[in-house]
Structure formats: structure tokens, C-alpha cells
């Protein structure tokens, strides 16, 4: 510790060492005072060293605490990022599962399960509000021949292309799905059979004009369509049976045409 007054110390030293001052009555108290002063100075020095050490220890502790907190914060941020990624992954996975369980893998159209779901809802809606709806069953003509002549791969492309055109031709509120194999179902809510027949005639023509190309081959396909409007009191599967029956009539009538179930003319 720095001495407060070097010259005073030297002066006192000199006085105490001076033989002329040996008998001075003030010498004794000065000696004691000097000893006290030095003791006090040593104590102050010690206390200030302890205080310095304590302060630097506290500073170190504070620093290591901050570092620890920062490290924990970084770890937490990492965990949060991992959790976010995991949640996004789960959401994507759920979405993919939902899509896979309700959509057809080849064409991307709604599958039979989703169609049945919507048909049930439409039948319920009819029971409550008497809102009409019509079902159209569509079947690709001589699809087996297309497969046999050009191969399964072109057959798949044909189904995908047909599905794309069907979906593009219908209205937003209609639902087109793959019923199975080369068969499609279109649900037309708020639509009676005669209006549905007009839409389906447009769909039939669009398919007729479609050229399906795959590598070197190209092929044209046609579809036959059976239409049935939901009747009060029947189940949705009875309506489907009626549409199936009308489809059979269209096939027997020469294909590439549509037929409406229960139509007075039997068309």
C-alpha cells in the first residue's frame, strides 16, 4: 500500500534515531504512536487486499454466471429450434398421411373414402334442407385394350390425363374422385339430373378430344357416363347403384355417351 506521507515518515525515523532526542519525554509516546500507525497501516493494507481479492472473485463469479446463463440460453434456443423443426416435420407428415388416406396416389384425385364421406354429407344435407345433388359415374371405354396395346405405363398416363381434364371441366363446388380402376365419380351438389347431364356432356366431349401422349405413342380415349339424381328417402349407395345402372346402359348403347337413371325417356 502507498505510504500517505513519505517525508513525514522519514522525519519521524530521523527523530527516533537522533541521539539528541533520546531523553525527550515525547519520544516514548511517539514510538508507541508510530507503532500504532504502522499496525493500522498494515491492517488497512490487508483489508484492502482482501477487498480486492473479494471483488475480483465476485467479478469472476458474475462472469461465469453470465457465461453459464448464456450457454443455457444458447442450449434452450437450440432445443426450441429442434422442437420447431420436429413440429414442422410432424405437421408435414400428418398432412402427407391425411393426403394419402383421402387421395389417390396415381391421379391425385380424392379417393373412394373421401367421396363416400362427401356423399354421406350430401345425403344428410338433403334430409335437412332438401338440397338436390346428382352423381355421375364415369368409366373409360375399352381401357383394357389401351393397356394391352400400349402398355400399363401409357395406361397410367391416360388415367392421369383423364383425371386432370375431368377435374378441370367441373365447377368449384363439384367433386371428382377416382372410384377405382378406370372408374371415376363426380358429385354435383345443388344440381338436378338435367343440369348435370349438360355438364357431363361437356366432360365427355373434352375427353373425346383429348390426345394422350407417352414417349412415341399417342392414343385417344372415350368415356361412358351414368347419371343419377338423389331421390328423397334413398341411401347414397342406392343413388350410386342407379348411376352404375345408367352407366351400363351407356356402355350397352355403344359407349362414348351418357345415360340418366330414372329418366322418363330412358335416355
Ligand X SMILES: Nc1nc2c(ncn2[C@@H]2O[C@H](COP(=O)(O)OP(=O)(O)OP(=O)(O)O)[C@@H](O)[C@H]2O)c(=O)[nH]1
Residues in 156-175 at the binding interface with ligand X, rule: CB under 6 A: 156, 159
252 forms part of the interface with ligand X (CB under 6 A): no
Residue 30, CA atoms < 13 Å, CB-side half-sphere = 16
The catalytically annotated residue of 122, 161, 169, 182 is: 182
Residue 251: CB minimum distance to ligand X, A: 5
The SS3 call for residue 12 is helix
Give the DSSP letter of residue 256.
S
User: Which of 143, 150, 230, 236: binder of ligand X (CB under 6 A)?
Assistant: 143
Q: Which residue's C-beta sits nearest to ligand X?
A: 155
Strands, E assignment, 118-247 = 133-140, 175-180, 183-189, 211-214, 217-220, 223-229
Residue 121: CB minimum distance to ligand X, A: 27
Residue 232: CB minimum distance to ligand X, A: 31
106 forms part of the interface with ligand X (CB under 6 A): yes
Q: Where are the alpha helices (DSSP H) in 5-26?
A: 6-17
Q: Tell me whether residue 208 is one of the annotated catalytic residues.
A: no
Stretch that binds ligand X, among 63-71, 149-157, 200-208, 209-217 (CB under 6 A): 149-157
Give the DSSP letter of residue 262.
T
Burial class (CB in 10 A: 0-12, 13-18, 19+), 242: buried
- Given the complex with ligand X, which of 147 and 257 has the nearer CB atom? 147
- Given the complex with ligand X, which of 156 and 238 has the nearer CB atom? 156
Site string for ligand X, 31-70 (x = CB under 6 A): ----------------------------------------
In the chain, what are the helix, strand and coil shares in percent, each to the nearest 5?
A: 65, 15, 20
User: Which of 74, 81, 85, 152: binder of ligand X (CB under 6 A)?
Assistant: 152
Site string for ligand X, 121-140 (x = CB under 6 A): ------------------xx
Which three three-digit cell numbers place residue 27?
Answer: 519520544
The Cα diameter of the chain in Å comes to 152
Query: Are residues 241 and 134 in contact, defined by beta-carbon separation less than 8 angstroms?
Result: no
**Residue 5 belongs to what H/E stretch?**
none
- Given the complex with ligand X, which of 132 and 177 has the nearer CB atom? 177
- Given the complex with ligand X, which of 98 and 152 has the nearer CB atom? 152
144 forms part of the interface with ligand X (CB under 6 A): yes
* CA 25, chain centre distance (Å): 98
Stretch that binds ligand X, among 56-64, 120-128, 147-155, 235-243 (CB under 6 A): 147-155
- Nearest by Cα to 230 from 217, 219, 243, 221: 243
Question: From the CA atom positions of the chain, what is the Rg in Å?
Answer: 48
181 forms part of the interface with ligand X (CB under 6 A): yes
* CA 43, chain centre distance (Å): 71
Which parts of this chain interact with ligand X (CB under 6 A)? 106, 139-145, 147, 152, 155-156, 159, 181-182, 251, 255
**Residues labelled catalytic:** 182
Amino acid at each position: 500500500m502507498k505510504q500517505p506521507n513519505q517525508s513525514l515518515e522519514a522525519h519521524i525515523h530521523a527523530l527516533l534515531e537522533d541521539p539528541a532526542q533520546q531523553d525527550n519525554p515525547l519520544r516514548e509516546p511517539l514510538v508507541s504512536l508510530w507503532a500504532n500507525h504502522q499496525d493500522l497501516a498494515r491492517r488497512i493494507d490487508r483489508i484492502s487486499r482482501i477487498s480486492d481479492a473479494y471483488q475480483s472473485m465476485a467479478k469472476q463469479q458474475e462472469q461465469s454466471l453470465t457465461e453459464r446463463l448464456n450457454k443455457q440460453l444458447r442450449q434452450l434456443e437450440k432445443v426450441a429450434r429442434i422442437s420447431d423443426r420436429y413440429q414442422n416435420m410432424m405437421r408435414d407428415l400428418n398432412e402427407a398421411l391425411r393426403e394419402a388416406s383421402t387421395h389417390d396416389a396415381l391421379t391425385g384425385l380424392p379417393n373412394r373414402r373421401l367421396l363416400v364421406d362427401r356423399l354421406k354429407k350430401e345425403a344428410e344435407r338433403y334430409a335437412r334442407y332438401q338440397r338436390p345433388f346428382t352423381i355421375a359415374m364415369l368409366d373409360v371405354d375399352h381401357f383394357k385394350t389401351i393397356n394391352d396395346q400400349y402398355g400399363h405405363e401409357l395406361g397410367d398416363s391416360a388415367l392421369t390425363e383423364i383425371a386432370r381434364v375431368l377435374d378441370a371441366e367441373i365447377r368449384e363446388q363439384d367433386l371428382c374422385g377416382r372410384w377405382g380402376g378406370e372408374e371415376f365419380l363426380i358429385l354435383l351438389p345443388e344440381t338436378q339430373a338435367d343440369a348435370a347431364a349438360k355438364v357431363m356432356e361437356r366432360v365427355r366431349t373434352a375427353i373425346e378430344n383429348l390426345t394422350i401422349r407417352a414417349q412415341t405413342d399417342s392414343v385417344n380415349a372415350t368415356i361412358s357416363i351414368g347419371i343419377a339424381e338423389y331421390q328423397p328417402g334413398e341411401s347414397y349407395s342406392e343413388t350410386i347403384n342407379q348411376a352404375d345402372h345408367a352407366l351400363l346402359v351407356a356402355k350397352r348403347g355403344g359407349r362414348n355417351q351418357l345415360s340418366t337413371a330414372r329418366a322418363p325417356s330412358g335416355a
